[in-house]
Structure 1
């Protein structure tokens, strides 16, 4: 899950930033770090999933530039292999590829990612901050401005309470650069109409669902599943079990009386 926060200018009140940032330490209980970039602050609360060693701790740094990301970058291994021809990687973290990707592709990198993410990059060469959020908005990100007009980004709105006069959700499918928001992916845009048959459509939905579950099984930490016994979670768990070589771990939540979710979850399990 993790938590990120960025103050995008020289900060006069480190303790105020830290106080706001620590409101979401529960999102990343494994480790915490705040880095002074020389032109602002970047904070990261870590929930270790990929690259569990200390080398996988963020912010990542490359020649004075920094990056923090709450996200999962699917299929990062292939991109990392390509980038390894020019860059040295120290961890197994998927997010370590962010700065090399940014150096190679700039903001075009965002539309190249198969990922769910909220990230902040400090570009040392340009002396500016870039922030971005995945096209669906799976990972949370908010922004606001303090009394000086400095923009501040954070994983949750409560991080910004007491620091910013305005708090807004970061628009999904956008990146922030040069004081403006830019759309890099609009999932509502229709490029073409499909005339596939019903059988073809169902087959493609099946394949996409299986692929979507399978790529989320890649983790260095143990993977668990929240199982309610409903159609969605039951399908996900069934696919995951089929793709796993050992029994998956499922969790269910129910009320003490008439726990209908627990009843059906036990049947599925």
Structure 2
């Protein structure tokens, strides 16, 4: 696990200032504290920060191929590197190291840009081919590892693992993209098709980019996609067996490391499943860690302890106070872009705990997206049944009128969220799912924006790309399209961004076995009833894991990390919330209706409504503006 950065001149191969790439690497030093290096040639420079995981002393980067034809910087892990190494040696390739980095170089020599299809793992890498004078950038299938890039005024392209690597370059403009603000206020993060700064791009998951001197910047090429269009046939017992095989294979392949390895254990279905297969594959007790909260309603640590005892793990647990608001500035700085998933704070804390004893930790991320595990998936399947019964000509006017008349906003407590359901049923399946995903619906966003910002935004709405993605998805049903959208937008934009930044901030490598692409492709082919059935998500996975896990772990309500932001904004953060509406960096943009913002603050502090989610979004947006040095 590492951080990468580089500069490539698109027009002519002009010399690159080595100091600039060194500064870019220094900005992401937390991603790789074990080593660093910069390589330059006419028109290109590659930089690397290393966190040693495999072949600790033998694979420094930037790494040259044995023939000197290619140079690599690589962030991630290739889990099938030993199998590929054997295949490539049989084809005549020679190796000097025992790591996975050199396998990528050999794969490039043998297969060129097509090498990515042979790699099983999480990765973002850059290869400069000295013969062809091309730069090849690639990102893994699901987007576990990030890669930012931007074209600069001197004709060069800069790239890096995090946005802070690019902001370390003096030629990068720090101008906020108002369309990214619209995206952020809708979803709580900036999706991968945009960045918070104008001119900055993120290489999308499953995409690559081949650059040539003297040629314009090309469009990224998609080299992997997942299809929900096919349906696998078979008895439930046979499908269970195949699912267990794929999960076991995914976990065992991710246990290869030359450093201490462990797992996050929340006590939920996904992390408990990963630990079960780790314990099965390990000859010694698995190291696990979890955090609990000193508020009984938020604490799941008893379930984690139960699973740890069942599988005899070496378990570390720590009770933390949810009143951790003092770390907000540090948290915002990790993400560069505004990021409003409040569970990032406890995720960071469990990463800190894990790093005390291990360098690699396996997580349970990905099963919900792949196997239909979210509450919204169950709702989507149910709402689509209603849509099938009633024509749009009836649903639109009736449910739309009821939804508009319903008095409570979308951030209200769960029992009072009928407004969202009614408005969701008024639209088609894609529109309904977009509304269920949105933190702030369009009508509330419009009330918060100033006239100036509405003019900047123009006709663009954050839902538009998601609706287009769902309607063009390789899928058969509304649930298929919803899960496809989760895998393409929500997963890389929110979940994987959260885990990458919080883990790498403490130099911890997090691995996601349940995002093995073979498992994802299998899950996408399952009939709907094998994913959602009887009001339960992840139906097949829970059935398959009953031989390993107790029912009170498999079938208890999903909880996840909770941060008490509502209480914070009625206490220690009340002043910060008022400052957003009055004198903070956000207010100085003139993009928001300060009177309405202040009204939300006052109503929340008074306890007459729960506006904590929108206040948290605005606070983290303000912190991001400050962190980026934007006024």
- With normalisation by structure 2, the TM-score equals 0.41
Q: Secondary structure at the match of 1:206?
A: helix
Match of 2:201 among 150, 168, 180: 168
Judge conservation of contact 1:31–1:47 (CA < 8 Å) in 2. Answer: yes
Greater strand proportion = 1
Retained in 1: the 8 A contact 2:252–2:281?
yes
**Higher helix fraction (1 or 2):** 2
* Distance in structure 2 (CA, Å) of the matches to 1:152 and 1:201: 46
Residue matched to 2:61: 58
Q: Which of 66, 83, 87 is the equivalent residue of 1:82?
A: 87
Q: How big is each residue's C-alpha offset from its partner over 1:103-145, in whole Å with a ceiling of 9 and x where there is no partner?
A: 1111111112112111100000101100000111111111112
Q: In the aligned structure 2, how far is the partner of 1:146 from the partner of 1:101?
A: 31
CA distance in 2, matches of 1:208, 1:37: 44
Residue equivalent to 1:3: 3
- Contact persistence 2:266–2:272 (CA under 8 A): yes
Give the 5 Å matches for 1:181-192. Answer: 181-187=220-226, 189-190=227-228, 192=230
SS at match of 1:132: strand
Q: Distance in 1 between matches of 2:168 and 2:28?
A: 14
What's the CA shift for 1:193? 2.7
* Corresponding residue of 2:409: none
Larger radius of gyration: 2
Counterpart check, 1:37 vs 2:41? yes
- Conserved in 2, the CA contact under 8 Å of 1:52 and 1:92? no
- Conserved 8 A contact 2:18-2:40: no
Give the corresponding residue for 2:247: 209
Deviation digits for residues 190-228 of structure 1 (CA, Å, limit 9, x no counterpart)? 563322333332222221111110100111222111111
Contact 1:252 / 1:262 at 8 angstroms: preserved in 2?
yes
> Where do residues 192-207 of structure 1 align in structure 2 (5 Å cutoff)?
192-207=230-245
Alignment CA distance shift 1:68-1:191 (3 Å): farther
- Equivalent of 2:30 in 23, 26, 31: 26
- Spell out the pairing of 1:83-102 with structure 2 (5 A cutoff): 83-85=88-90, 86-102=92-108
For residue 68 of structure 1, what is the aligned residue in structure 2? Answer: 73
2:305 is matched with 266
Are 2:149 and 2:202, in contact at CA under 8 Å, matched by a contact in 1?
yes
Question: How many residues are treated as equivalent by the alignment?
Answer: 267
Q: Which residue number corresponds to residue 145 of structure 2?
A: 139
Secondary structure, counterpart of 1:56 in structure 2: coil
Confirm whether residue 111 of structure 1 aligns to residue 117 of structure 2: yes
Residue matched to 2:450: none
RMSD: 1.9
Out of 104-113 and 13-22, give the one that drifted further: 13-22
Would the alpha carbon gap of residues 251 and 122 (structure 1) be closer, same or farther in structure 2, given more than 3 Å must change? Answer: same
Instruction: Measure the CA separation in 1 of the matches of 2:80 and 2:20.
Output: 38
SS for the counterpart of 2:300 is: helix
**Which of 191-200 and 176-185 deviates more?**
191-200
Matched residue SS, 1:242: helix
Residue 243, structure 1, aligned to residue 243, structure 2: no
Deviations 1:162-186 (A, max 9, x none): 5334222111111101332111111
